[in-house]
Amino acid sequence: MNPIRRRSLLQVSAAALPLSVAGKWAFAQDRFPSKPITLIVPQPAGGDADVVCRSLQKKMQDVLGQPVVIDNRGGAGGNIGTALGAKAAPDGYTLTFVNQGTMALNPSLYPNAGYKVESLAPVTWLTSIDLVIVAHPSVPAGNLKEFLELARKEPGRHTYGTAGNGSANHLAGEMLKSMAKVDFTHVPYKGGGPAIIALLGGEISIAVAFPLAALPHVRSGKLKALAVTGKQRAKALPDVPTVAESGVSGYEFVSWMGLAVPRGTPDPIVQTLHAAAAAALKEKDVADRLSAGMTEPVGAGPKEFGDLISREGARWSKMIKQFGMKID
């Protein structure tokens, strides 16, 4: 963005604040951002979170006029990177990628996740995503219904991989096991990318995966899609049934992704960061890439994203207790 244009937008934001706050912000407006911004991604490179953030990176840099540096900090179901982001200085120079796992699941799954949801302030609700259940070609099942029948005949033999204990993929898999009344073993990996690599190598039978990482391999024939977890079939996979269509009535699992900053970051900075992310999501090449990966751009702001986090936290807390899930 033209620096003059960016400065004028920030001046408008400052004018809307109370005088005491506006005076402090006016002093800083010409300086934000005046250096690179770090975007912490609590997953290894190559996973769905990494793909989304790298898709947004260039346009956000153009809008902000400063580099956006992606820092992959995978591990502990996203807790390590999220805790790092929550403890950063509230100055707008550290963004954290957050999702259903880190903001709605982990606080109920882990005795101590290393951070509190309240320590992070929502910036942008980036995407809404259906997951896809994919299998290694050697698995003798052409769809999920056939795989479930196979698993019932061979209880405990088959395995499913996810992005890690407590991840959205993990909960989606446990929901499937419970609702379908089947027994297959969970194998956690340190991110969605490593889980897909393991599946390609035949280490596991299936993976409950985010589509951005999985679909390229489905299209190349290296993996096969058994089902999608949403309420309706995906446009990107029109011939692949939903889990509900596969005999698991009532099953639906939709995930989401977003950006957050440490609590206490000034609102004008939050709004500036949100504007950059929303602009990136509106770029045709970005929107097309995400939609082709069953990942729908949303772009809602801090209020809407905060409301989503609150609703989802309450909902999944009850679900986790229902399934008796806990991670030590």
Q: What is the pLDDT of residues 122-137, one digit of tens each?
A: 999 999 999 999 999 9
Alpha-carbon distances, residue 46 vs 37, 202, 262 (angstroms): 21, 19, 25
Task: List the structure tokens of 195.
Answer: 């889980």
Q: What is the CB neighbour count within 10 angstroms for residue 284?
A: 7
Lowest mean pLDDT segment, chosen from 42-51, 146-155, 259-268: 42-51
Predicted pLDDT of residue 76: 84
Would strands 37-41 and 185-188 be described as parallel, antiparallel, or unpaired?
unpaired
Query: What's the residue count for the chain?
Result: 328
Q: What is the CB neighbour count within 10 angstroms for residue 31?
A: 8
For residues 72 and 322, is the Cβ–Cβ distance under 8 A?
no
- Asked if pLDDT for residue 13 goes beyond 90, the answer is no
**DSSP reduced 3-state for 95:** strand
178, 162, 176: which is closest to 227 by C-alpha? 176
Lowest mean pLDDT segment, chosen from 8-22, 129-143, 294-308: 8-22
Q: Band the pLDDT of 5: cuts 50, 70, 90.
A: very low
User: What backbone torsions phi and psi does residue 265 show, to the nearest 5 degrees?
Assistant: -65, 130
Average pLDDT over residues 15-19: 45
Alpha-carbon distance 53 to 205, whole Å?
A: 29
3-state helix, strand, coil in the chain (%, to 5): 50, 20, 30
Predicted pLDDT of residue 80: 94
Predicted pLDDT of residue 19: 42
User: What backbone torsions phi and psi does residue 43 show, to the nearest 5 degrees?
Assistant: -140, 155
Task: List the structure tokens of 323.
Answer: 């399934």
The DSSP output letter for 221 is: T
Alpha-carbon distance 51 to 255, whole Å?
A: 15
**DSSP reduced 3-state for 300:** strand
Percent of the chain with pLDDT over 70: 91
253, 106, 77: which is closest to 165 by C-alpha? 77
Q: Band the pLDDT of 30: cuts 50, 70, 90.
A: low
Residue whose token pair is 């109920």: 108
The burial class, CB within 10 Å (0-12 / 13-18 / 19+), for 274 is buried
**Strand (E) positions, 152-303?**
159-162, 185-188, 206-209, 224-228, 254-262, 295-300
Q: Band the pLDDT of 1: cuts 50, 70, 90.
A: very low
User: Can the peptide bond before residue 137 be classed as cis, meaning omega within 30 degrees of 0?
Assistant: no
DSSP letters along 238-252, please?
TTSPBTGGGT-TT--
Average pLDDT over residues 66-91: 95
Q: What is the pLDDT of residues 97-118, one digit of tens each?
A: 999 999 999 999 888 999 999 9
Residue whose token pair is 């995906």: 234
- For residues 115 and 51, the model is more confident at 115
Alpha-carbon distance 184 to 205, whole Å?
A: 9
Alpha-carbon distance 221 to 231, whole Å?
A: 25
The burial class, CB within 10 Å (0-12 / 13-18 / 19+), for 315 is exposed
Average pLDDT over residues 84-105: 96
- For residues 177 and 16, the model is more confident at 177
The mean of the pLDDT values for the chain is: 89
